[in-house]
Amino acid sequence: MKTILAFNGSTRAASFHGRIIRTLPALAPADVRIAEFDLGDVPFYNQDLEGEHQPDAVVAMRAAVAEADGIVFAAPEYNYSYSALTKNTIDWLTRPMGAGALRGKKVMVISVTPGPGAGRKVTATISEILPFLGNEVISVVNAATIHEKLDANDTIVDEELASALRAGLAAFS
Ligand SMILES: Cc1cc2nc3c(=O)[nH]c(=O)nc-3n(C[C@H](O)[C@H](O)[C@H](O)COP(=O)(O)O)c2cc1C
């Protein structure tokens, strides 16, 4: 059994990325388990918080990443780039330099938008930086008009999106 840890770069209660993360268990292969790490308690990166007394949420996040076989970044596109929350997560997980918990993990990047852009700018940006940080991006999924592709029960009603997510998750198997 492989464990894939998902991060949502939006803490908005009705976040589309949160809703997409909730669809993943039903789309994953039988040997892939999806866990979500709640970023709500992770503070902004500050080098003064490194060392012996790291924030509990950071310790928990690093431990969860260390135990995971792969990572999903569900990353909202803010102003053609990542949200501060997504960047903050990457920053914590790449410290100490060269030995961060994220190093060597396979990564799937997902971005969706209610508008027409499909989050392609942010997935391109994340896909560009992660290999430099020692990660292999194994799949990228984008979707525009996401409000039309999820029903009220958070089931994906767009077969193209469902099959792209299925294929992305299968790459972890
Ligand atoms: C500060 C901010 C900047 C945004 N910039 C973009 C953008 O550059 N491109 C885009 O397609 N959508 C943009 N959006 C719209 C987001 O894609 C949309 O709010 C999305 O639903 C955010 O993800 P969430 O639903 O998981 O919170 C922006 C939203 C915010 C709040």
CA of 64 to the centre of ligand 1 (A): 27
For the chain, 173 residues long, give each residue's pLDDT as a single digit of tens: 999 999 999 999 999 999 999 999 999 999 999 999 999 999 999 999 998 889 999 999 999 999 999 999 999 999 999 999 999 999 999 998 888 999 999 999 999 999 999 999 999 999 999 999 999 999 999 999 999 999 999 999 999 999 999 999 999 98
Give CA–CA dist 85/106, Å, rounded: 20
Domain count, the chain: 1
CA nearest ligand 1 atom 31, residue: 78
Cβ atoms of 37 and 74 within 8 Å: the answer is no
Range of the domain at 55: 2-170
Measured distance CA(75)–CA(110) in Å, rounded: 6
Q: From the CA of 173, how far away is ligand 1's center (Å)?
A: 31
pTM of the model: 0.97
| CATH code for the domain in which residue 130 is found | 3.40.50.360
